[in-house]
Chain A
Amino acid sequence: MSDSDNSNSVGAVTPQRVRFGAPIQLKGGAVLPDFELVFETYGELNAARSNAVLVCHALAGSHHVAGWYADQPGHLGWWDNLVGPGKPLDTNRFFVVGVNNLGGCYGSTGPVTPNPASGKPWGADFPVITVEDWVAAQARLADHLGIDVWAAVLGGSLGGMQALEWTLQFPHRIRHAMVIASTPKLTAQNIAFNEVARQAILTDPDFHAGHYYEHRAVPRRGLRLARMVGHITYLSDNQMDQKFGRQLHGGKHQFSYEVDFEVESYLRYQGDKFSRSFDANTYLLITKALDYFDPALDFGGDLKAALARAQANFFVASFDTDWRFPPQRSRELVHALLANRRNVTYAEIACTAGHDSFLLDDAHYHALMRAYFENIKL
Chain B
Amino acid sequence: MTHAPERFDFDVIAGWIRPGERVLDLGCGDGSLLRHLRDTRQVLGYGVELSPANVLACVKMGINVLQSDLERGLSGFESGGFDHVIMSLSLQAVHNTERLLREMLRVGREAAVSFPNFGYHSHRAAIAAGRMPVSKALPYRWYDSPNVRFFTIADFEDLCAAMKISILECHAFDESAMRVRDNPNLNASIALYRLGRTAPAA
Residues of A within 8 A of B (CB): 331-332, 334-335, 338-339, 341, 343-350, 364, 367-368, 371-372, 374-375
Contacts and interface: CB of A to CB of B under 8 A. Distances in A.
Contacts of B78: 335, 338-339
Contacts of B77: 335, 338
Given A364-B52, A368-B56, A368-B59, A338 B67 contact: no
Given A334-B66, A338-B46, A345 B58 contact: yes
A240 B66 CA distance: 30
Contacts of B66: 334, 338, 344-346
Contact of A368 (B46, B55, B76): B55
Contacts, number: 54
A345 B65 contact: yes
B19 interface: no
Contact of A375 (B55, B56, B62, B81): B62
Contacts of B76: 331-332, 334-335
B3 interface: no
B67 A346 contact: yes
Nearest to B69: A348
Contact of B68 (A348, A364, A368): A348
Contacts of A368: 55-56, 59
Contacts of B52: 347, 349-350, 364
Interface in B22-59: 22, 44, 46, 52, 55-56, 58-59
A374 to B, nearest CB: 8
A339 B59 contact: no
A343 B22 contact: no
Contacts of B96: none
Interface of B: 22, 44, 46, 52, 55-56, 58-60, 62, 64-68, 76-78, 81
Contacts of A339: 78, 81
B91 to A, nearest CB: 22
A129 B81 CA distance: 37
A372 B46 CA distance: 15
Contact of B59 (A335, A345, A348): A345
B59 A344 contact: no
A350 B78 CA distance: 26
B78 to A, nearest CB: 5
B103 to A, nearest CB: 14
B60 A371 contact: yes
27 contacts: A331-B68, A332-B76, A334-B66, A338-B66, A338-B77, A339-B78, A339-B81, A341-B22, A341-B44, A343-B64, A344-B46, A344-B64, A345-B58, A345-B59, A345-B66, A346-B66, A346-B67, A347-B52, A347-B59, A348-B68, A349-B52, A364-B52, A368-B55, A368-B56, A368-B59, A371-B59, A375-B62
A-B CB proximity, top 4 nearest: A335-B76, A371-B59, A371-B60, A348-B67
Contacts of A331: 68, 76
Interface centre among A339, A341, A350, A368 (most CB of B within 10 A): A368
Contacts of A372: 59
A334 B78 CA distance: 12
A347 B64 CA distance: 10
A375 B58 CA distance: 11
A327 to B, nearest CB: 9
A375 B59 contact: yes
Nearest to B66: A346
A249 B40 CA distance: 64
Nearest to A364: B52
A306 to B, nearest CB: 15
A371 B59 CA distance: 6
B58 A364 contact: no
A341 B64 CA distance: 11
Contacts of B56: 364, 367-368, 371
Contacts of B22: 341
Nearest to B50: A348
Interface centre among A338, A349, A367 (most CB of B within 10 A): A338
A332 B62 CA distance: 22
Nearest to A304: B78
Given A332-B76, A345-B65, A347-B55, 19 more contacts: A334-B66, A335-B76, A338-B77, A338-B81, A339-B81, A343-B64, A345-B59, A345-B64, A346-B65, A346-B66, A346-B68, A347-B52, A347-B67, A348-B67, A349-B52, A367-B56, A371-B56, A374-B60, A375-B62
A54 B85 CA distance: 36
Contacts of B60: 371, 374-375
Nearest to B52: A364
Contacts of B65: 345-347
A343 B22 CA distance: 11
Nearest to B58: A345
A356 to B, nearest CB: 20
Contacts of B62: 375
Contacts of A367: 56
A345 B66 CA distance: 6
